[in-house]
Structure 1
Amino acid sequence: MNVQIIPLQQAPSQQFSINLNNQSCTIKVHQRDGHVYVDLYVNGEAVVLGALARDRVGLTRHAYLTFNGELLFVDTRERDDPRYTDFSARWSLLYLYDS
């Protein structure tokens, strides 16, 4: 299993493009009502919309989704759900994949 850390800004709403294991992805991360949500697009097609980000819970857990790998947040200090104020310092967004 390979792991790639996806850098995030400490901002309540952000969108960026990234290549993940030869997949052209757009990721939107936003915090609303105290919770972080993620949208994932692959090659311009929506794969996950409004996925609630939880500590160590996959965002793309369903095998039928057209995404190779798994995205998840990890709290490096405790086991709390992510908050944008400590993105990259405390909460990391990880991409896990097989070679």
Structure 2
Amino acid sequence: MTAVQIPLAATASQTLNVILNQQLVRLDVYQRSTGLYMNVWINDAQVVAGAICQNLNPVVHADYLGLGGDFMFVDTQGSDDPAYDGLGARYVLTFVETGNG
């Protein structure tokens, strides 16, 4: 397994594109009053909508989508769930490849 860090900015709403397993992956990361959420798109098709982002909890939970891994937020200073103001510093988004994609 390989882990890749996905660069995020400390903003309340952002969209970024990354290439993972030879696929274009778009991530929409946004803060709501109930927590941080993420949408995942693979090659312009939305595969995950409104997934809650929690510390050390996989975001996608679905190998059959063909992503070949999963996203996970890591609190580098404790065990809190991520909030936008700590993205890219305290809260790091990683993609862990499984090799099954």
Same fold (TM > 0.5): yes
| Bin for the TM-score computed over the shorter chain | over 0.9
How far, CA to CA, are the matches of 1:34 and 1:61 in structure 2?
Answer: 20
Give the alignment's TM-score, normalised by structure 2.
Answer: 0.92
How far, CA to CA, are the matches of 1:63 and 1:43 in structure 2?
Answer: 16
Say yes or no: does 1:96 pair with 2:99.
Answer: no
Q: How many corresponding residue pairs?
A: 99
8 Å CA contact retained: 2:63, 2:69: no
Identity %: 32
How far, CA to CA, are the matches of 1:80 and 1:40 in structure 2?
Answer: 22
| Structure 2, unpaired ranges of 5+ | none
**CA RMSD across the alignment:** 1.1
SS at match of 2:85: helix
Tell me the residue number matched to 2:45.
45
Dislocated runs of 4+, deviation >3 Å: none
SS at match of 1:64: helix
8 Å CA contact retained: 1:16, 1:28: yes
| Structure 1, unpaired ranges of 5+ | none
